[in-house]
Amino acid sequence: MINGNLEVFLDTGWFTESTLFYNGYTYWFEGFYTPETKRYTFFIYKWISKLKDDMYTYRYILNNDVLGFEEIYRIEGNDWESLKIQFLQAPLFDGKSFWQVEKELIQVDDGGNISINTKEDFFNQ
């Protein structure tokens, strides 16, 4: 993992609003516990982005304020450990698992939005 500590990420970062960049996309992770159901939920949002200075990412928004993210993964379970195992094995990164791309993942600070007309304009600036 670039810009991050793998041990810290695997300990708590994978479910506490971490942001990773891989191959032109930002992946935003979050998990939560629901006391009423005694269930844990983990999900990942993904959006097209651009890496800047190996530390920040920018996502584009259209002039009508459409962000263009999608939820690509959601799982629920009775404990964090089983969810973590499922996440680490899931083919989330261009059909590859976390372990297959771990050395290429960049931990970033999600820099923010850029208002722009088209995706092509975003990548050509």
Mean pLDDT by 10 residues, the chain (125 residues): 93 91 93 96 92 82 70 96 96 97 92 73 75
pLDDT digits (tens, 9 = 90+) for 55-84: 888 877 766 666 678 899 999 999 999 999
What pLDDT, on a 0 to 100 scale, did the predictor assign at position 99? 97
Count up the domains in the chain and report the number: 1
Backbone angles phi, psi at 68, to 5 degrees: 75, 35
pTM: 0.87
Give residue 113's domain range.
6-124
What pLDDT, on a 0 to 100 scale, did the predictor assign at position 55? 84
Residue 1 inside a domain? The answer is no
Residue 70 inside a domain? The answer is yes
What pLDDT, on a 0 to 100 scale, did the predictor assign at position 98? 97
Distance of CA 3 to the CA centre of its chain: 15
Residue 28 inside a domain? The answer is yes
Q: How far apart are CA 96 and CA 89, in angstroms?
A: 9
Residue 116 inside a domain? The answer is yes
